[in-house]
Each structure stands twice: as C-alpha cells, then as structure tokens.
Amino acid sequence: MGNHYVGKMFVVGISILSDDDIDNLTQEKALEIIDKIGNEVVASTSLDAEFDDHLDTSQRLGKVVLKAFLPEKYEEWKDKEWDEEMGEEHYLKVYRPFRERFGFW
C-alpha cells in the first residue's frame, strides 16, 4: 500500500492551474511544473507513491502528466477515463516515465 500523500501533494501543487491553463501548457512547462512538485515531494516523503485515480487522463493531474510525457495524445485523451485502447501506450509513455522520473515505486 503506497503513500497516498504523494498523490495528494501533486494534486494540491497543480491546484493553482485553471482548466484553460492546463489545456494551454506546453510540454516543457508541464515538465517544469511536475519537476518542481516532484522534487519537493521526494525531499519530504517516501517514494512509495499512491496516486489513486489522480493520474487518470480525465483528472487534472493526469492531464498535466499527459501534457508532459505524451502531448500528441492530449486532445484525444484529455477527457477520457483510462481504457484498454489507451492501455500499453499510456503505461509505457506516460505512467511509467512519470513514476521513474522521481523514483516512485
């Protein structure tokens, strides 16, 4: 069972962004935002991270992470809940790189 505070810290960290802000993020800016949050998270908590559904592309954090790691799919996936069609591509190009970037288990 992971540390649920990690996911919540990311959610709080992006809470200042409006939906329009998220829609208009560049890949570079999205990475900058998650790096700032991630570095603080790593410095202050465990790497046993639990994100519940926050990384789902229909959720705000999921949208920022999608912008950061697979921006070419943003318009197609931004309001979708995870499904089998997204499956391996989402896992390999979004979910896993995000977790590996910060060393989350």
- Percent of the chain scoring above 70 in pLDDT: 97
Q: List phi, psi (to 5°) of 49.
A: -90, 140
Give the whole-angstrom CA distance, residue 14 versus residue 67. Answer: 13
Has residue 24 got a pLDDT over 80? yes
* 73 DSSP assignment: G
48 in helix, strand or coil? coil
- Stated pTM of the model: 0.85
pLDDT tens by residue, 58-100: 999 999 999 999 999 999 999 888 788 898 999 999 999 999 9
pLDDT tens by residue, 35-61: 999 988 888 886 778 887 889 999 999
Kindly list the domain boundaries of the chain, sorted by start residue: 4-102
All residues at 6 or more sequence positions from 44 whose CB lies less than 8 Å from its CB, including other chains: none
Q: List phi, psi (to 5°) of 14.
A: -95, 0
Q: Name the band, by pLDDT with cuts 50, 70 and 90, for residue 2.
A: low
| Bridge partner residues of 3 (DSSP) | 49
CB 47 within 8 A of CB 39: no
Give the whole-angstrom CA distance, residue 69 versus residue 99. Answer: 11
